[in-house]
Amino acid sequence: MKALDIEAVQAFVLTADLKSFTRAAEALDTTQAAVSLKIKRLEQGLGRRLLERTPRLVRLSIDGSTFLDSARALVAAHQGAVGSFGVEQRRLVVGISHHIVGAELPLLLKRMNAAEPGLVLEIRILSSNEAFDAFERGTLDAAIALRHDNRRRDGETILEEAFGWMAAPDFVHRSGTPLKLATQAPPCSVRTMAVAALEEAGIAWTEVFVGGGITTIGAAVSAGLAVAALGRRVAPAGCIDIGPQLGLPPLPARDVVLYSTSTDRRTKNALRSLSAAIRATGR
């Protein structure tokens, strides 16, 4: 057997984690065709099919599942060898909107660390407005936030976030009573968006839970306490968009935008990997 191509092994690990050749290509700053070719040659060298491919899905084969842990170890050993002579440690401070990350945060951090293991990551979970302000003050190296207005038209659009009126399947709303809402405290832009939509539609509402981020709001929703305006991508597992059932007004989508002025290669690699991982959670 020929020696394994470390770039091909890295491409395989990324594709397995992100479940997408496209997202792996984005993380590696290359093309989907190049990633596909690397993995095809890796499979030929091993004499094993590692990934099952369909137009809508990429998943590990049985042999791929067997190989994955060893592939991760090989990539990690290679990175350790490359960094054995020491790499200048650098801190990367990233602000991310509450409404953009949920239970997938460990995956996002894992991908950033895999891209640049020598970086010290400092992640701040903020409102979109707070992230904008901190980035403009220079206290963040990068910000990932929802674009709610024309305050900034620059930045890289990562994806379009679709919002819904998310609730537990057993949530009960009694006709004639105000809609029970779980929100973040003002000046949360998603709260403002949701309240404006309800008031424009003439729907009475009452705030029964105020949380501090997706985790707490999602817990209130999962417990059946209330309905919340949440991105469908980050809503708690098992929740449904109850809007059509209750006749609630549709919520507008919002762009998720990355702002960064850094030209440092390591920072760009880490942020590119983070963007690809966020896009992968929208599948």
The confidence score (pLDDT) of residue 1 equals 58
More confident residue, 82 or 43: 43
Identify the CATH assignment for 6-82 out of 3.30.559.10, 3.50.50.60, 3.30.360.10, 1.10.10.10. Answer: 1.10.10.10
**Pairwise CA distance, residues 110 & 274, whole Å:** 9
The confidence score (pLDDT) of residue 206 equals 96
What's the whole-number average pLDDT of the chain? 87
Q: Which CATH class is domain 163-252?
A: alpha beta
> For 56-69, what is each residue's pLDDT tens digit?
778 899 999 999 98
For residue 163, name the pLDDT band (cuts at 50, 70, 90): very high
pLDDT reading at 205 higher than 90: yes
pTM: 0.74
pLDDT reading at 166 higher than 90: yes
For the chain, the structural domain boundaries read 6-82, 90-159+255-280, 163-252
90-159+255-280 with 163-252: one CATH topology? Answer: yes
pLDDT reading at 86 higher than 90: no
The confidence score (pLDDT) of residue 152 equals 66
> For 185-203, what is each residue's pLDDT tens digit?
888 889 999 999 999 999 9
Identify the CATH assignment for 90-159+255-280 out of 2.40.170.20, 1.10.357.10, 1.10.3430.10, 3.40.190.10. Answer: 3.40.190.10
For residue 283, name the pLDDT band (cuts at 50, 70, 90): low
